[in-house]
């Protein structure tokens, strides 16, 4: 069907106006009624996208908050509190004075769920006068939920670029309405995030939610909206009301069973609820040591499971003067377990971790290291544990130790083939030095393990010195540099020639002695890989010279210098397009507007349940390299500056990390802000 005249919409507009007037009990010819008419007249004069940004009539008329309106006018439509920004459905909005936002489409029946700031629209949107609306969305049936006007406006303001006032193109696969629960709007449970506080206030346990297969979504004073797969039986409603200690009306919206189960599971791991895990744990006098111990085991297991599910790299359990603080590191950023856990259980939790790694629980003032192994869902995870004491108390830091066979290859890491070839050539030669650089946490050691994956250690003598040993590599002799015994990278490297090495890895060159020892090994016919703390591949020679290496030895031994950064990838579920900032703003950010020529949009993400509200999901490495050829070797020997070296590389097409990160931002894979973090100097 073709809808090309806005006047076609006037019956629906009239219906909306009429419903609103009835709902508010406005007498015809009264002052408020003419205000309502005036409101609609004004809106019809401006383009919808602009008019929708105005305050809703409910706000203008009622000046009441959403909940108060809800109390007064609710009863017709399930109210929900949805962050519409996190919901992604067809962004086709009918050109009506009142925004109707499609938020879900039932996968089988095709019934459309629409959010609006007017409650109780269901019946009128399915009346014959509103045929045009159902044609617009290619659906047979429209269901409604009621969302706060502010939430709708925020969504519209943020999505204005993506919205369309054109009808949804008809799709062939459309099936007949599943009339099972025509009065229950369907929501995609994957879009739903239950705030921890809602659950805490409601006091619903995951077990109860599971047993009735329902999840509370929203609570106003006398209304609770519940998401469930089946129609709720009266006894189930009674049970919910009993648990919620309320006589509130329970509204039902509908979701898929598997998705609801998944949502409950996610809630379980997302929201470890200290008050529930430790029911009464604060009152130590009433709790026996055995109870606390049991609780501690549950806390440790729950937190570790949560960490694994969130793809955390590190977990900290820290005793503070008034609680146990649990933190997770995900994609390089830290996040706190909300609320913290009661202090009473803190000591037990740390002791339990120490016992699991066979550490001495009576030793608190001296650092201890150990390994904790835990199986989750048939997979084995190893955590490297360090316990220590600071002024606020004892803490345990756990780092997830990846397995060697899960380390990606350099190709999988996205390293350009020319760099990989240069590394392979160096490893195949009789001597050469590969240096990796970049700030702490940029993934240098992972890259070294990836390089080790390329070496067949059964035919070569491969030796490494590491602090700490992050991953155990089969057939490689790995040495943990134990500073307590006075051992250093320098002393180990000086001794290495006696061990007949083929390939040597020296964890880090951080002082003059180590650099000297590495240069000696590298220039005496050996292959050596190490890392250096400097920002770009082209500053490696000058940094080595700062550490008193001689220019000639650098030029003779260095074959590949690689710098890398990890950038956060935008969450695929909640990214939105944003216009490219104006040229002046780009200049203020230190960016060249020319780079953005012909680019209209960039991407950013707002955070959703999938990404734990962070807006990013996963990271990828970006590399830059100085591949030492004759020209660069000569330039180093002649005392070229880092800039000179970079210019030489640039002539053969080599780009900096920042250039590459900008290209990623322009391609919409990372945010512009993230690209800017890779800029050095």
- DSSP states along 472-540: --TT-EEEE--GGGT--HHHHHHHGGGG--SEEEEEEE-SHHHHHHHHHHHTTT-EEEEEE--SSGGGH
Taking the C-alpha atoms of residue 157 and residue 107, their distance in angstroms, rounded to an integer, is 28
Taking the C-alpha atoms of residue 160 and residue 143, their distance in angstroms, rounded to an integer, is 24
The single residue listed with the structure tokens 């080790």 is 452
Select from 340-348, 401-409, 552-560, 568-576 the region that touches Zn ion (CB under 5 A): 568-576
Taking the C-alpha atoms of residue 611 and residue 617, their distance in angstroms, rounded to an integer, is 6
Query: Which residue in 515, 608, 648, 661 binds Zn ion (CB under 5 A)?
Result: 608
In this complex, which beta carbon is closest to Zn ion, that of residue 269 or of residue 655? 269
Pick out residues in 350-369 that bind Zn ion (CB under 5 A): none
Nearest distance in Å: CB 615, Zn ion:
6
**CB-nearest residue to Zn ion:** 571
Nearest distance in Å: CB 557, Zn ion:
46
Taking the C-alpha atoms of residue 604 and residue 231, their distance in angstroms, rounded to an integer, is 39
In this complex, which beta carbon is closest to Zn ion, that of residue 193 or of residue 423? 193
Nearest distance in Å: CB 190, Zn ion:
11
In this complex, which beta carbon is closest to Zn ion, that of residue 561 or of residue 615? 615
Select from 103-111, 161-169, 292-300, 606-614 the region that touches Zn ion (CB under 5 A): 606-614
Give the residue from 317, 376, 365 showing the smallest Cα distance to 343: 317
Query: Which residue in 571, 636, 640, 661 binds Zn ion (CB under 5 A)?
Result: 571
In this complex, which beta carbon is closest to Zn ion, that of residue 64 or of residue 573? 573
Nearest distance in Å: CB 162, Zn ion:
16
Site string for Zn ion, 238-277 (x = CB under 5 A): ----------------------------------------
Kindly state whether residue 574 participates in binding Zn ion, applying the rule CB under 5 A. yes
In this complex, which beta carbon is closest to Zn ion, that of residue 335 or of residue 343? 335
In this complex, which beta carbon is closest to Zn ion, that of residue 85 or of residue 250? 85
Q: How far apart, in Å, are the Cα atoms of 550 and each of 273, 488, 525, 533, 542?
A: 59, 22, 17, 18, 10
Pick out residues in 28-47 that bind Zn ion (CB under 5 A): none
∠438-439-441 over CA atoms, to 5°? Answer: 110
Nearest distance in Å: CB 335, Zn ion:
14
Select from 9-17, 485-493, 537-545, 610-618 the region that touches Zn ion (CB under 5 A): 610-618
Select from 75-83, 315-323, 552-560, 573-581 the region that touches Zn ion (CB under 5 A): 573-581
Kindly state whether residue 627 participates in binding Zn ion, applying the rule CB under 5 A. no
Instruction: Evaluate the CA torsion angle 529, 534, 535, 541 in order and state its sign.
Output: negative
Q: How, if at all, do strands 462-466 and 558-570 pair? A: unpaired
Kindly state whether residue 611 participates in binding Zn ion, applying the rule CB under 5 A. yes
CA 655 to chain centre: 28
Is 87:101 a contact under the CB 8 Å cutoff?
no
Helix, strand, or coil here: 609?
helix
Nearest distance in Å: CB 330, Zn ion:
12
Taking the C-alpha atoms of residue 564 and residue 329, their distance in angstroms, rounded to an integer, is 20
Select from 44-52, 337-345, 524-532, 602-610 the region that touches Zn ion (CB under 5 A): 602-610
The tokens describing 638, both together, are 């002649």
Mark out the alpha helices in 137-232 (DSSP H runs).
149-159, 196-202, 206-212
In this complex, which beta carbon is closest to Zn ion, that of residue 40 or of residue 610? 610
In this complex, which beta carbon is closest to Zn ion, that of residue 212 or of residue 569? 569
Select from 12-20, 167-175, 246-254, 607-615 the region that touches Zn ion (CB under 5 A): 607-615
Select from 248-256, 352-360, 493-501, 574-582 the region that touches Zn ion (CB under 5 A): 574-582
Binding residues for Zn ion, rule CB under 5 A, total 6
Taking the C-alpha atoms of residue 556 and residue 519, their distance in angstroms, rounded to an integer, is 10
Give the binding site for Zn ion (CB under 5 A). 571, 573-574, 608, 610-611
């Amino acid at each position: 069907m073709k809808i090309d005249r806005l006047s076609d919409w006037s019956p629906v507009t009239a219906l909306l106006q009429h419903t609103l007037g009835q709902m508010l009990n406005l007498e015809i010819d009264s002052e408020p009624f003419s205000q309502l008419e005036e409101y609609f007249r004004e809106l019809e004069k401006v383009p919808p996208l602009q008019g929708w940004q105005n305050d809703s009539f409910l706000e203008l008329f009622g000046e009441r908050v959403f909940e108060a309106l809800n109390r007064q006018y609710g009863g017709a439509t399930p109210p929900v509190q949805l962050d519409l920004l996190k919901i992604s459905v067809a962004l086709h909005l009918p050109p009506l004075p009142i925004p109707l936002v499609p938020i879900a489409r039932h996968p089988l029946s095709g019934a459309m769920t629409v959010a609006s700031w007017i409650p109780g629209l269901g019946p009128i949107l399915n009346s014959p006068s509103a045929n045009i609306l159902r044609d617009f969305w290619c659906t047979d049936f429209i269901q409604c939920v009621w969302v706060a006007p502010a939430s709708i406006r925020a969504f519209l303001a943020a999505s204005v670029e993506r919205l369309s006032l054109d009808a949804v193109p008809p799709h062939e696969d459309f099936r007949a309405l599943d009339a099972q629960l025509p009065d229950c709007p369907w929501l995609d449970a994957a879009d739903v995030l239950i705030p921890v506080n809602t659950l805490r206030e409601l006091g619903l346990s995951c077990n109860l939610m599971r047993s009735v297969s329902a999840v509370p979504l929203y609570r106003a004073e006398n209304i609770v909206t519940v998401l469930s797969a089946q129609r709720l039986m009266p006894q189930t409603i009674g049970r919910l009301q009993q648990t919620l200690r309320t006589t509130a009306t329970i509204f039902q919206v509908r979701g898929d069973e598997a998705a609801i189960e998944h949502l409950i599971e996610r809630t379980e791991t997302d929201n470890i609820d200290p008050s529930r895990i430790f029911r009464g744990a604060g009152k130590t006098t009433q709790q026996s040591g055995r109870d606390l111990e049991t609780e501690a085991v549950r806390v440790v297991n729950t937190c570790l499971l949560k960490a694994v599910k969130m793809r955390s790299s590190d977990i900290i359990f820290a005793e503070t003067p008034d609680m146990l603080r649990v933190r997770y590191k995900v994609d390089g950023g830290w996040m706190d377990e909300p609320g913290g856990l009661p202090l009473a259980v803190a000591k037990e939790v740390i002791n339990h971790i120490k016992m699991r790694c066979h550490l001495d629980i009576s030793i608190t003032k001296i650092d201890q290291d150990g390994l904790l192994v835990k199986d989750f869902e048939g997979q084995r995870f190893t955590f490297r544990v360090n316990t220590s004491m600071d002024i606020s108390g004892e803490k345990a830091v756990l780092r997830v130790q990846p397995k060697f066979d899960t380390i990606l290859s350099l190709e999988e890491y996205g390293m350009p083939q020319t760099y990989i070839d240069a590394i392979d050539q160096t490893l195949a030669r009789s001597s050469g030095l590969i240096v990796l650089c970049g700030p702490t946490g940029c993934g240098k050691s992972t890259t070294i393990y990836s390089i080790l994956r390329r070496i067949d250690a059964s035919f070569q003598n491969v030796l490494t010195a590491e602090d700490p040993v992050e991953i155990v590599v089969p057939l490689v002799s790995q040495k943990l540099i134990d500073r307590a015994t006075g051992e250093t990278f320098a002393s180990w490297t000086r001794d290495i020639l006696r061990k007949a090495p083929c390939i040597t890895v020296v964890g880090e060159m951080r002082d003059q002695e180590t650099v000297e020892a590495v240069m000696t090994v590298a220039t005496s016919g050996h292959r050596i890989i190490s890392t250096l703390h400097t920002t770009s591949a082209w500053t490696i020679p000058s940094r080595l010279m700062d550490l008193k290496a001689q220019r000639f030895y650098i030029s003779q031994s260095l074959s590949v210098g690689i710098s890398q950064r990890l950038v956060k990838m935008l969450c695929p579920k909640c990214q939105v397009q944003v216009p490219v900032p104006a040229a002046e703003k780009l200049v203020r950010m230190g960016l060249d507007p020319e780079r953005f020529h012909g680019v209209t949009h960039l991407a950013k993400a707002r955070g959703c349940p999938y990404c734990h509200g962070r807006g990013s999901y996963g990271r990828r490495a970006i590399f830059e390299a100085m591949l030492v050829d004759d020209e660069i070797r000569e330039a180093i020997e002649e005392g070229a500056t880092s800039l000179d070296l970079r210019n030489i590389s640039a002539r053969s097409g080599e780009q900096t990390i920042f250039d590459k990160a900008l290209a990623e931002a322009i391609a919409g894979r990372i945010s512009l802000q993230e690209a800017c973090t890779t800029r050095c100097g």
